Every structure is written in C-alpha cells, then in structure tokens.
C-alpha cells in the first residue's frame, strides 16, 4: 500500500503494474477518483497486454465536506468492481487507486475495504493507494510505504506539468 | 526525486515514465546499480516506443564498506551515460535509478551529480531515485518525496516475490 501526502503513490502502483506485467501476471486497475481526467498512463496501458482498467468518480475533485450521493454511488461501484476483479480468477494483481481517499472521505465504509482484504484469495495481490490510509487497513497490509512530501514544486507556485504530474 | 528507506522509489520513477510516454515524451532510463538482475519492467519497456534504457553495476549488491574499483568504474560510466542522454536533445525525461545510493556510497562524487543537475537543459526533466539523497541534491530538486517504510513483509520473514518486488 502507498499512502502519505507526497507525490508518487499512483506512480508507484503503476510501476508495480509494469513489473507484474513483465513477469506475465494479469492486472486490473480500478481508479476510484479519477473520472475522465486524462491521466497519461492510459494510452500506454491500452497498448499493453494483460492489463485492463476501469475508472470511477469525477473530473472535478470532491469536496470532502460536501460529498454528494452521486459521488458515493461512484465510489461504491468502484469498490464492487475491484471486489469482482479480485474474486474473478482472471487477475493476479488488482490495484485500487485512491481507495484510501474514498474511505477517509466516507464515500465508502472502511469496513467494506477491510472485508474485501480479508476475503482476498491467496494468489491475488492487491495494491491500495491514497493518502489517509485507515489504521485498520494498514493493519491488514503486508507492505506499507508512506510517501512524505519533502519538497514540491507547487510550494513554489509551479503548476502541474503534463507528462510528469499526471 | 524519490528517496527514503521504503519500497516504491524505482516503481514511482517507472510510473512516471509510463505517464511521460503516454504524453508522447521520449524517455531514457539509466540503472546505476542493477546489473543483470531480471527486473520485471524490462520486457515491458522493450515493447514500448520512445523509451530506452542502459544498465550498469553488478548483480550482487555492493558492500558499501568495500567498494571495488570496478564498481566505481561502473557508476562513473552510468553517470556519463545519464549526462550524455540529458544533453543529447533526444530525450524529454532521463531517469537516474539508484544514483543516490551510488553517491552516498562514494562510488561517484556527489559534486558530479550536482554539476549535472546544474547543467540540465530547461526542457529536460530528471528523476533521481535511491535512498540516502544528499542534501545538496535535495536542495536542487523541484520535487522530493521520501518513501518511508511503515510495514514491509521482510519484517515478517517473507522473501521477495517475483512480479511484485522486482
């Protein structure tokens, strides 16, 4: 699991996907909060074999203090899709991108994430990303890296750059 | 730059590479300390366009207290290759994988890394990885994420798993 406030969580998951593919494993990625945002990896993933993905959520970032029913519905659909992929026997690795944010903002119940991890078949690996990982989820994870921001160009007023930040 | 003792530094760089490729950028990766180790990403990178890589260093991990002349020579060659890629005009992004380890173990002089970053053309991005980043390199970087290990399966005696850890 990759959590924390620093950059590199989704990137690290994506790097893990590339390695898994290199070893012939089959991968499914569920984006919880990306909507139609043009993440740079998608055209590359589309060219590769043995990897598929589904996107849920919205283009505009949620306001955690004002989540809508539609946002909750999207997050629930994402979690169902991830659970289905995990149980399907079709994948060796399932990525739940930004699931931690979805649960910390209470779009989904963290207990449903915990339940999913507990039901994980032994031969399937999960990678969860997103800041604000719940201690109950950390408890169940084998590997947890916290990405800590030491420096970020936004701090100096630099906006995000296509190809490097998304 | 991705540094720290947690897992995900090379993976995050690799995820950054995939995103850059998705935006049509041209990428070169220099592995400083990987030797012939069968990193999972390489067959996938070989299938993709606009990305190339070079590997230096050895299969067996160095002993930082007993570095050999040959190890130093390999690290110097890696740094030259990275500098050449950076200055060639052929790449938009150059990754220096494990360069921080090479400089903290004094296989190369950190001043040569600093000099390279100062000579970087504006239109080229660099991603540096490896634990033990020198403060002089951190000072020059726009973005620095420290990967902190919160939990690692090795702590429980689980060995590395093909497709997930390498």
The CATH number for A60's domain is 3.40.50.300
Residue B137 included in any domain: yes
Residue B163 included in any domain: no
Whether B15 and A20 lie within 8 Å, measured CB to CB: no
Rounded mean pLDDT of A38-67?
A: 84
Interface of B with A in 38-77 (CB under 8 A): 39-45, 47-48
CA angle A43, A46, A50 (to 5 degrees): 150
Q: End-to-end alpha-carbon separation of chain A, Å?
A: 20
Whether B20 and A163 lie within 8 Å, measured CB to CB: yes
Query: Among B12, B41, B48, whose Cβ lies nearest the Cβ of A12?
Result: B12
Half-sphere exposure of B140 (CA within 13 A, CB side): 18
Residue B7 included in any domain: yes
Task: Please report the pLDDT score of residue A162 as a whole number.
Answer: 58
Q: Answer for the pair B50, B24: CB distance below 8 angstroms, yes or no.
A: yes
Task: Please report the pLDDT score of residue B133 as a whole number.
Answer: 96
Structure-block tokens of residue A117: 């991890």
Residue B140 included in any domain: yes
| pLDDT surpasses 60 at B15 | yes
Q: Is A90 on the interface with B (CB under 8 A)?
A: no
Per-residue pLDDT tens over the stretch B97-139: 999 999 999 999 999 999 999 999 999 999 999 999 999 999 9
Structure-block tokens of residue A134: 């719940």
Residue B152 included in any domain: yes
Distance CA A166, CA A39 (A): 5
Number of domains in chain B: 1
Per-residue pLDDT tens over the stretch A101-111: 999 999 999 99
Per-residue pLDDT tens over the stretch B82-101: 999 999 999 999 999 999 99
Contact list, B162 vs chain A (CB under 8 Å): 23
Distance CA B113, CA B30 (A): 14
How sure is the predictor about A57, in pLDDT bands with cuts at 50, 70 and 90?
Answer: confident
Per-residue pLDDT tens over the stretch A129-159: 999 999 999 999 999 999 999 987 766 555 5
* Least Cα separation, residue B48 to chain A (angstroms): 8
* Longest distance between any two alpha carbons in chain B, whole Å: 47
Distance CA A32, CA A130 (A): 10
Residues 6+ apart with CB under 8 A from A148: A4, A5, A6, B4, B145, B146, B147, B148
Task: Please report the pLDDT score of residue A159 as a whole number.
Answer: 53
| pLDDT surpasses 90 at B37 | no
Structure-block tokens of residue A104: 């910390």
Residue A58 included in any domain: yes
Distance CA B41, CA B25 (A): 18
Q: Answer for the pair B78, B57: CB distance below 8 angstroms, yes or no.
A: yes
C-alpha to C-alpha distances, B105 to A110, B87, B117, B132, nearest whole angstrom: 43, 26, 19, 9
Residue B47 included in any domain: yes
Q: End-to-end alpha-carbon separation of chain B, Å?
A: 20
Which residues constitute the domain of residue B42? 2-156
Q: What is the DSSP string of A103-140?
A: HHTTSS-HHHHHHHHHT--TT-EEEEB-SS--HHHHHH
């Amino acid at each position: 699991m990759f959590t924390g406030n620093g950059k590199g969580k989704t990137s690290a998951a994506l790097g893990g996907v590339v390695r898994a593919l290199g070893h012939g494993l089959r991968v499914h990625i569920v984006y919880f909060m990306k909507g139609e945002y043009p993440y740079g990896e998608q055209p590359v993933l589309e060219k590769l074999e043995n990897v598929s993905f589904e996107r849920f959520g919205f283009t505009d970032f949620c306001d955690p203090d004002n989540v809508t029913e539609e946002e909750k519905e999207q997050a629930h659909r994402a979690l169902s899709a991830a659970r289905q992929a995990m149980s399907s026997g079709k994948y060796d690795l399932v990525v739940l991108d930004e699931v931690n944010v979805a649960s910390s903002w209470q779009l989904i119940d963290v207990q449903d994430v915990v339940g999913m991890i507990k039901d994980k078949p032994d031969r399937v690996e999960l990678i969860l990303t997103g800041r604000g990982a719940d201690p109950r989820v950390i408890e169940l994870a084998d590997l947890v890296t916290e990405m800590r921001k030491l420096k970020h160009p936004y701090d100096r007023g630099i906006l995000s750059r296509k190809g490097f930040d998304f």
